[in-house]
């Protein structure tokens, strides 16, 4: 998949890999990177690529969800949220490592079937979903609103 023309390009500079630093060229984001203890690291105070991916994917997916809802003239509550889990492990299909993603979407007050439809449509247009499709296992779960029960 490719883009017609770049609307925006983010630039980051990283040194040291999983135990280094990374910063954007505009100075808005600067992070210290540390490897989690579960991955053989020291579990220092820094973040890691999986956490950054979880934040990026969930924010982007919520943007796609809002775009789909706008197109269908559905009001998405401000309390709409996504809990993202990005798991890291050995690649089950060959050498190296892989990630898996789970996005749990909560759209309070919206009919569950309608919420599932919007989430499915958002998954078709979200750039992160398009980038991972066929490469990363992505599980989507729509929270059952208590009002539906």
CATH of the domain at 138: 3.30.300.20
User: How many helices (H) and strands (E) would you count in the chain?
Assistant: 3, 6
- pLDDT tens, residue order, the chain (149 aa): 789 999 999 999 999 999 999 999 999 999 999 999 999 999 899 999 999 999 999 999 999 999 999 999 999 999 999 999 999 999 999 999 999 999 999 999 999 999 999 999 999 999 999 999 999 999 999 997 654 44
Q: Is residue 149 part of a domain?
A: no
Residues 77 and 102 in one domain: yes
Q: Which domain holds residue 33?
A: 1-47
Q: Is residue 147 part of a domain?
A: no
Taking the model in full, what pTM does it have? Answer: 0.93
For residues 139 and 103, the answer to whether their CB atoms sit within 8 Å is: yes
- pLDDT the model gives residue 145: 62
Q: How far apart are CA 117 and CA 120, in angstroms?
A: 5
- pLDDT the model gives residue 148: 45
For residues 48 and 33, the answer to whether their CB atoms sit within 8 Å is: yes
- pLDDT the model gives residue 147: 46
Residues 35 and 67 in one domain: no
Residues 101 and 79 in one domain: yes
Residues 37 and 60 in one domain: no
Number of domains in the chain: 2
Q: Is residue 35 part of a domain?
A: yes
Q: To 5 degrees, how large is the angle CA 10–CA 14–CA 17? A: 135
CATH of the domain at 39: 2.20.25.10
């Amino acid at each position: 998949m490719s883009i017609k023309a770049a609307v925006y390009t983010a630039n980051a500079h990283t040194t040291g890999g999983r135990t280094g630093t990374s910063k954007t060229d505009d100075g808005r984001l600067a992070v210290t990177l540390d490897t989690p203890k579960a991955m053989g690291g020291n579990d220092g105070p820094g973040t890691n690529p999986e956490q950054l991916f979880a934040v990026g994917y969930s924010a982007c997916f919520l943007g796609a969800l809002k775009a789909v809802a706008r197109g269908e003239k559905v009001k998405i509550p401000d309390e709409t949220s996504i809990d993202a889990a990005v798991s890291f492990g050995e690649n089950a299909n060959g050498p190296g490592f892989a990630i898996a993603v789970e996005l749990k979407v909560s759209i309070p007050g919206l009919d569950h079937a309608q919420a599932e439809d919007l989430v499915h449509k958002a998954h078709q247009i979200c750039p992160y979903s398009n980038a991972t499709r066929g490469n990363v296992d992505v599980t989507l779960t729509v929270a059952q609103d208590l009002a539906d029960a």
